[in-house]
Amino acid sequence: MSKLVDDAVCDYFSSLLNETPVAQRVNTDEATGLNHGTLSAELRPQQGNSAVQVKEFATAEVEERINPQALAQLLAPVSAPVEPKPAVTAVAEKQLAAVAQKPALIAATDLNSTPESVNSEQINVVAAQSSATAKSMTKDLIEQLDEEFQVLFFKVAGLTLAVPLVSLGGIVNLERISHLMGRPSWYLGVQQHRQSQLNVVDTCAWVMPEKYDQTLAQNVSYKYIVLLQDSNWGLTCESLVNTFKIHKSQVNWRSQAGKRPWLAGVVKEQMCGILNVDALIAMLDSGLGSQG
């Protein structure tokens, strides 16, 4: 890990230690100048209307448990100066050449068809596609963004993530989630949104499945859904931090796809992951977890 990143990580930890509890943090949504109205008219917090059990969130305890490990994992591929090419990438590139000649593996189903269980071969090939295209996706994202661009920071289980506003489809309150059987544990269910179905992702379970145990699940208190572009996917979050205008140079862009193509890079000052929404949507569409 470079000295610069080391310093930044220390700063990040310091800021977390000095952070206000969640009850105060929610109040600071407005104090920090986040204009809810500009993001979505539906963003206003509504308490007591959610079918999801809302419990008091032991912020300090959860952050203490999650942040160091989670951040270290997120940063690992970024901070390594020369990341060895993962074995899976080499296999993936070979498979990709073969896949290019085949029709899409996961096609849209009609009512006469049924979703088949995704076997390991399919997962490998999809992972290969995700991995191989992630680099170009990040490049596309960088090209798509202006030199200075706005991002929204949001928090889940103490972990801060950033999404470029150009990739933000909106923000809605978490309301009634309908559970669908047979879906991965990170798939919370479906929420009605403007006459369509919104697929809601348990962000904590998706981003850090290895840390997501029963205790954490009970402590996480989701309030909002961050919509990903114009897709029908949404990430749950506990609180919205703020929107910031940042310069491209303020981001450590990932030069290699690694295991997490959904992570475009790390915002240096805030030391938080910035999402590659296109890659994220592609992974979710394929039913893949955060590790591909």
Partner 1 sequence: MTSSNSVAVPGSNDDAVLQWVTFKLDNETYGINVMQVQEVLRYTDIAPVPGAPHYVLGIINLRGNVVTVIDTRSRFGLASADVNDSTRIVIIEAEKQVIGILVDSVAEVVYLRRSEIDNAPNVGTEESAKFIQGVSNRDGELLILVDLDKLLSDEEWMELTQI
- Say whether residue 209 binds partner 1 (CB under 8 A): no
Contact 263, 114 (CB under 8 A): no
Residues between 154 and 183 that touch partner 1 (CB under 8 A): 178-183
Query: Considering the rule CB under 8 A, would residue 117 count as an interface residue with partner 1?
Result: yes
Which stretch in 111-119, 153-161, 163-171, 242-250 sits in contact with partner 1 by CB under 8 A?
Answer: 111-119
| Residue 266 identity (one-letter amino acid) | V
Report d(CA 157, CA 26) in Å as an integer.
14
Distance separating alpha carbons of residues 186 and 206, to the nearest angstrom:
5
When asked if residue 184 is in the footprint of partner 1 (CB under 8 A), the reply is: yes
**Continuous segment of H or E residues that includes residue 69:** helix 59-79
Please give the residues from 229 up to 248 whose contact with partner 1 meets the rule CB under 8 A: 232
Q: Which is nearer to partner 1, 189 or 258 (CB)?
A: 189
User: Can residue 197 be called a binding residue for partner 1 (CB under 8 A)?
Assistant: yes
Please state the closest distance from residue 81 (CB atom) to partner 1, in A: 36
- Taking residues 89 to 108 in sequence order and writing x for each that binds partner 1 by CB under 8 A, - otherwise, the string is -----------------x-x
Tokens at 119, concatenated:
């076997």
The pair of three-digit structure tokens given for residue 136, joined into one six-digit string: 């170009």
Tell whether the torsion through CA atoms of 211, 262, 60 and 218 is positive or negative: negative
For position 124 contacting partner 1 by CB under 8 A, the verdict is: no
Q: Which amino acid is at 81?
A: P
CA dihedral of 76, 79, 83, 86, whole degrees rounded to 10: 20
Residue 112 sits in the site that holds partner 1 (CB under 8 A): yes
CB of 184 to partner 1, least distance (A): 6
Cβ distance to partner 1 smaller for residue 18 or 214: 214
Residue type, 112: N
Contact predicate 221/139, CB 8 Å: no
Q: Per CB under 8 A, does 195 bind partner 1? A: yes
164: β partners: 151
Pick from 190, 205, 257, 282 the residue near partner 1 by CB under 8 A. 190
Q: Which residues bind partner 1 (CB under 8 A)?
A: 51, 106, 108-112, 114-118, 178-184, 187, 190, 192, 195-197, 199, 232, 284-287
